[in-house]
Amino acid sequence: MAFLRWLGGFVVFFWLLGLLFKIGGGLIHILLVVAAIVFIVDFITGRSR
């Protein structure tokens, strides 16, 4: 799951760049939703271990 955390952080970074420079459009927001889902799944599965 460490890879998923890294990937989620990477997606959030590019989402912030998209907000700052007004690039990426809807794709960046879809990627942010995917990153949020990854963090939630990681949180839930990490707690059960």
Please state whether the predicted TM-score (pTM) of the whole model is above 0.75: no
- How many domains does the chain contain in total? 1
What range does the domain containing 11 cover? 2-48
Q: How confident is the model at residue 1 (pLDDT cuts 50, 70, 90)?
A: low
Which positions ≥6 away from 18 have C-beta within 8 Å?
Answer: 24, 25, 28
Whether residue 27 contacts residue 47, with contact meaning beta carbons closer than 8 Å, is answered with no
pLDDT of amino acid 9: 79
Residue 49: band (very low, low, confident or very high) from pLDDT cuts 50, 70, 90: low
Taking only the tens place, the pLDDT of each residue in 15-44 is 777 777 776 667 767 777 787 888 888 888
Return the amino acid letter for 47. R
The span from the CA of 24 to the CA of 35, in Å, is 16
* DSSP H or E segment with residue 29: helix 25-48
**Average pLDDT of 7-12?**
78
Q: Can you read off the two tokens belonging to residue 47? A: 């707690």
Q: Round the CA-based radius of gyration of the chain to a whole number and report it.
A: 12
